[in-house]
Copies of this chain bind each other. A is one copy, B any other.
Amino acid sequence: MLSEFSLIDRFFARRAAAQPSDTESGALGIGDDCALLAPRPGEMLAISTDMLVEGRHFFADVDPQALGHKALAVNLSDLAAMGARPQAFTLAFSLPKADETWLAAFSAGLFALAERYECALIGGDTTGGPLNLCITVFGSVPPQVALRRDAAQAGDDIWISGALGNARAGLGVQRGEWQADADDAATFRRALERPEPRVALGLALRGIAHAALDLSDGLAGDLLHILERSNLQATVDVDAVPRSAALRRLSPAIQQRCTLAGGDDYELCFTAPASARAAVQNAGREAAVPVTRVGTISALQTAADRPAIGWRDAAGAPLTLTLQGFDHFHAD
Q: Does A326 contact B (CB under 8 A)?
A: yes
List chain B residues, Cβ under 8 A from A148. Answer: 28, 32
**Cα distance A108–B138 when bound, in Å?**
28
* A64-92 interface with B by 8 A CB criterion: 78-79, 81-82, 84, 90-92
Query: Is A332 within 8 A of B49, CB to CB?
Result: no
Q: Does A234 contact B (CB under 8 A)?
A: no
Residue of B nearest to A94 (CB): B53
Query: Chain B's nearest CB lies how many Å from the CB of A97?
Result: 12
- Most B Cβ at <10 Å: residue of A47, A53, A150, A214: A47
B-binding segment of A120-128, A235-243, A297-305, A313-321: A120-128
Q: Does A306 contact B (CB under 8 A)?
A: no
Q: Does A50 contact B (CB under 8 A)?
A: yes
**Cα distance A29–B132 when bound, in Å?**
24
Residue of B nearest to A137 (CB): B34
Number of interface residues of A (CB under 8 A): 67
Q: Does A56 contact B (CB under 8 A)?
A: yes
Cβ contact of A50, chosen from B92, B147, B214, cutoff 8 A: B92
Query: Is B132 within 8 A of A94, CB to CB?
Result: yes
Residue of B nearest to A25 (CB): B44
Query: Is B33 within 8 A of A81, CB to CB?
Result: yes
- Most B Cβ at <10 Å: residue of A134, A148, A332: A134
Query: Is B44 within 8 A of A4, CB to CB?
Result: no
Q: Does A224 contact B (CB under 8 A)?
A: no
B-binding segment of A10-18, A35-43, A155-163: A35-43
Cβ contact of A130, chosen from B36, B44, B92, B130, cutoff 8 A: B130
**Cα distance A56–B214 when bound, in Å?**
35
Query: Is B127 within 8 A of A129, CB to CB?
Result: no
Cβ contact of A127, chosen from B146, B213, B330, cutoff 8 A: B330
**Cα distance A159–B266 when bound, in Å?**
50
List chain B residues, Cβ under 8 A from A125. Answer: 49-51, 134
Query: Is B149 within 8 A of A31, CB to CB?
Result: yes
Query: Is A229 within 8 A of B31, CB to CB?
Result: yes
Residue of B nearest to A146 (CB): B36
**Cα distance A125–B122 when bound, in Å?**
20
Query: Chain B's nearest CB lies how many Å from the CB of A41?
Result: 11
List chain B residues, Cβ under 8 A from A129. Answer: 53-56, 130, 132
List chain B residues, Cβ under 8 A from A33. Answer: 46, 48, 78-79, 81-82, 147, 149, 212-214
Query: Chain B's nearest CB lies how many Å from the CB of A47?
Result: 5
Query: Is A37 within 8 A of B26, CB to CB?
Result: no
Query: Is A127 within 8 A of B48, CB to CB?
Result: no
Query: Is B31 within 8 A of A48, CB to CB?
Result: no
Query: Chain B's nearest CB lies how many Å from the CB of A225?
Result: 8
**Cα distance A181–B330 when bound, in Å?**
49
8 A-B pairs whose Cβ atoms sit less than 8 Å apart in the complex: A33-B212, A47-B123, A48-B123, A49-B124, A49-B136, A51-B126, A56-B128, A129-B132
Q: Identify 7 new A-B residue pairs, CB closer than 8 A, beyond the known A1-B331, A34-B139, A129-B130.
A: A26-B143, A34-B47, A36-B82, A49-B125, A51-B92, A51-B125, A129-B132
